[in-house]
A and B are shown apart, each in its own frame.
Chain A
Amino acid sequence: MTTALKTLKRPVNGLIRIGVLFAAVGALVNLLPFVALTELGRLLLAGDNALHSLWLWAALVVLSLSLGWMANGLALWLTHLADHRLQASLREAMVSKLGRVSLGWYNDTTSGAVRKVVQDDLEDLHHLVAHHAVELTAAIVTPLAGLAWLAWLNWRLALLAVLTLPIYTVAYALMMRGFGSKMQLLDKSMTRVSAAIVEFVHGIAVVKAFGQTGQAHRSYQHAVSQFGEQYAGWVRPLLRLEAFSSMALSVPVILLASLGVGSLLLAKGWITPLQLFAETLVAVFIPQSLLVINQSLTAQRTALAAAGRIETLLAVEELPVPKVCVQPQGSDITFERVQFGYDPEHPILTGVDLHCPAGSITALVGASGAGKSTLAKLVPRFHDVSAGRVMVGGADVREIDPRQLYRHVGFVLQDAQLVHGSVADNLRLGRPNASEQEMQAAAESARIHQRILALPRGYQSVIGEDAIFSGGEAQRLSIARTLLTDTPVLILDEATSHADPESEAQIQDALSVLAQGRTVLVIAHRLASIRGVDQIVVLDRGRVVERGRHEQLLEANGAYARLWRASAETTAPNLEVSL
């Protein structure tokens, strides 16, 4: 375990230590019944039927059993409490991390991997914190104390109690040969299975559509059969050994060894019958502890691997927070010699200079892969530039308080991304305290109010349950949400999919309201939508190659004119032509 996890674990370490202490006390108390039973036997054998000493020892048996049980229970309760608190703080730390890393991080991290860390790994960590220390303590202290007591009675008894152990120990050592490397291998195939099943589920429509011979099913099958074979191949030769060696730990075998060899020792007069009685009580208890230790260590390995992944997530670098915050003055956007790439080998933007005056509309056009979306996403600071700077209202976005930035820069995404929750929750995303009237006014301006009222529970209908929106409707909803946030700067990523004609007309109306009086940077996919804007910027391979108004650019007969002609060829014929 390394630093971040250690820091988070610090507040609960006290609880864990007290838990371990209770576990040790409980384990010692657990031994008392054996001592008391033996003393009881001594009294009975001596023919001493003095009632109250008999009952005293009997009471001690019962009392110590109960106390031992409670101490152990208390120990587990304390460590569970520690785990409960740790999980809460870890979850909080992870979520906060997810919200602060550069969005580029999500390119290499699948949602399945995030789920695994936040959900499964935390669960695996549970064993380490809540069970491992306590169970291991009990499993070590009880047999050791028992053996010490036996040795104190008669050293031969202690040896007798562990007579069959060497058999198991040797077998166990044989079975664990190469365990580490085997586990690593299995861990890797397990990750593949995990990824394969996530794909399988998300692509289920494709899997179904293309039948069971399809690639998805095959790659899933490949991943799982590889894992199954690897695992089975490893354990199969060990099974017989395990089945045989585990006999050495079974109670009847231990009894036979204890009583058989014990009888010989008795015959020699080296031990007394009552000592043998004490030995059998302790001897049958030991294998149990060994199995607990064994299982606990296996679970610990899983938990440590999980802790490592949590650690990795918590160590991901965050977008730096400004030390001194600058207030944006106005709403113009400026890109100065902006360079950017997810990795230095493949730059996406190679020196962009661009000014978008306050209150104007600028359109970014260019082939796919030209860097339009990437450039626009630098404004809300989804990523930080590698060189140069992006300014809003004269302030570098890296120096604006992140809590100010989102109130200044709005973003209408290509896909509307409606979150799980009510329609109202989605509309109020940027302004949770907006009044009912403000919310409805925004919905009306975005031409979606009537549609929402038609839902079974109106604004309280839940997305995906009783509120199912078409693509066009979701776009209007996302426009309404942006309207409600009311930011002076707006980034608009044009949706690439068709909406039906009615919807499109309404989106048009909604956008006209939204754009009014704001500085708009639009990532345009079809040229017809933006021919009337203030400034058209043509990007090519991360550089601005042309800029100007539609007419100017057509006149220049350069890259834009070529794009325009290509789009005209495929534009739908109009009514006159078709009839």
Chain B
Amino acid sequence: MSDREPVVALRQVIKRYGNFTAVEPMDLNVEPGAFVTLLGPSGCGKTTTLRMVAGLAAPSGGDILIKGSRVNEVPIHKRNLGIVFQNYALFPHKNIFDNVAFGLKYRKVPKAEIAERVARALELVQLPQMADRFPNQLSGGQQQRIALARAIVVEPDVLLLDEPLSALDANLREDMRVELKKIQHQLGITTIFVTHDQSEALAMSDKIVVMNKGRIEQEGSPEEVYARPRSEFVARFLGNSNLLDGTITAHNGSSLSVEVGGLGQVEADANGAAVPQDGQPVRLVVRAEKLHLSTEPSGEPGATRMNGRVDTVDYQGQAARYFVTVGAHSLQVINPIDSRPFAEGAEVCVHVRPRDIVLLTPEA
């Protein structure tokens, strides 16, 4: 895929508002057919980036390329995009047919073809009966499907999704997530998705771009970003992580021993990352679900074992989240529940495999 020309490319794109820099110089490639997610907390610059691609905001510097040509000066209505907004933004005074047909009308598509393509788009989002209704007669989920149909019916070069699922309630959101991904895959349409919801990002994306304070923190497949966070921010933002500061005391090949203050010796594995010198400070990331609790000392050989006491239990049905006091630390642990969760105050053994520990080396 990498040898193909990206559909959307940002080259040192920057956005300033007065003295405030919303987006630091940023490079990004979106490959044909890819589903790329811009993920980050509010104010991280993800929406601003999307708006610059859309042509709703002008970059303060750098180039935006769509299909290889610079579009900085191309007005939004000539960019051939489909945008789906968080609040649907359907035209309230037009019925569903006219809403979906809107883009085709301005592309001078013949009437008969408009009818045919609108019908096909409504089939695709599974709302073929709704053509004569008005937006306020539809539920939120239905409105969002119509908004999607309106965006894809024009066969845009890029589909831009601005937190399209945030306004829906939890169950519907998960259904729509699956369906949106299915439709995107079926059409093979290049998509940029903006969200602050990590589970949406992990479930839907081919590539996740984690943003913070206007900068890209990390970019990679969902597995990469989740399992191998490269910065403290990414580790904290995705999933539940424990961050431990320590000093390397010994290493043997890629496996190393780290002395963590108030916790003791922890065995870790560099996992291909450059191994710092002995005596160097390092930061370890341990995912909450990679720590295992048991009543008896167990786990595979080489694992780190620590004794602790369950402090708080956050029961979640098929799993439970525990806060376990180990030495001077309180560790977050998420474990599936086997018959019944551990009780508060229970003495437990905590163990973790070296390869489940991620090493964060200080910024070069």
Whether A associates with B in a native complex is no
Which A residues are closer than 8 A to B by beta carbons? none
Which B residues are closer than 8 A to A by beta carbons? none
